[in-house]
Amino acid sequence: MTHDLLVALRPLLAAEASAEAHASGTEPGDLEQAVWLRLLELLETEGLPHDPQSWLRGAVRGEASRVRRTHGVERPYDLEPADDGERGPEHLALASVHRRALRAAVRRLPGRCPRLLEALLSPQDLTYREIAVELGIPQGGIGPERSRCLGCLRRLLAPEVAARRARG
């Protein structure tokens, strides 16, 4: 029954998402996916809606409205890491300065953190098993230890890397 309903709702959802997507500034596929997720959540908690077609139309409008609201609040990053196509001398010099600053901050961390983070940052791309053997700690303890060390690093770097503008 549920499968047949989902198959029957697919064309209606595609049409509604296409109609609302442009005005909300999103892709129809993204809107469809969000509504499918809301429907699955509803099916798990409350079961089938009384009038699935009306529910679907309302859900599409609700998701489109949510996207419009959040679109004004979220701001894109200035430069995405994947867009990092320029590798000129200035960029390479700045990247080198940032790497040195990061490594200097890592060395100032307490306890085993400097050794652990240096192992994680190693160009050899060590596995957790190799790091555990090298540092003499259980493999299962690396993740929690890494989280604690990154928290310390974040607090240490916070004054140096204060946000200059709002980010998304």
pLDDT of residue 55: 92
Which of 22-26, 133-137, 156-160 is predicted with the least confidence, judged by mean pLDDT? 156-160
114 pLDDT more than 90:
yes
pLDDT of residue 99: 84
CATH architecture of 102-168: Orthogonal Bundle (1.10)
- Could you give the count of Cα atoms lying within 13 Å of 46 in the half-sphere of its Cβ? 9
Predicted confidence band of residue 95 (pLDDT cuts 50, 70, 90)? confident
Q: In this structure, what token pair is assigned to residue 118?
A: 């240096």
User: What is the mean pLDDT of the segment spanning 134-142?
Assistant: 89
pLDDT of residue 162: 54
Q: Which residues contact 97 (CB under 8 A, 6 or more apart)?
A: none
CA distance 153 to 118: 12
User: What is the mean pLDDT of the segment spanning 79-92?
Assistant: 67
Q: What is the pLDDT of residues 52-62, one digit of tens each?
A: 899 999 999 99
- Could you give the count of Cα atoms lying within 13 Å of 143 in the half-sphere of its Cβ? 2
Sign of CA dihedral 48, 50, 56, 62: negative
Q: Which residues contact 17 (CB under 8 A, 6 or more apart)?
A: 28, 29, 31, 32, 35, 60
Q: Is the Cβ–Cβ distance between 129 and 144 less than 8 Å? A: no
CA distance 142 to 138: 7
Domain layout of the chain by residue ranges: 2-73, 102-168
Above pLDDT 90, what percent of the chain?
18
Q: Is the Cβ–Cβ distance between 128 and 139 less than 8 Å? A: yes
1 pLDDT more than 80:
no
User: What is the mean pLDDT of the segment spanning 147-156?
Assistant: 88
30 pLDDT more than 80:
yes
Q: Within a 10 A sphere around the Cβ of 84, how many other Cβ atoms?
A: 10
pLDDT of residue 84: 53
Q: Is the Cβ–Cβ distance between 166 and 136 less than 8 Å? A: no
Q: Which residues contact 102 (CB under 8 A, 6 or more apart)?
A: none
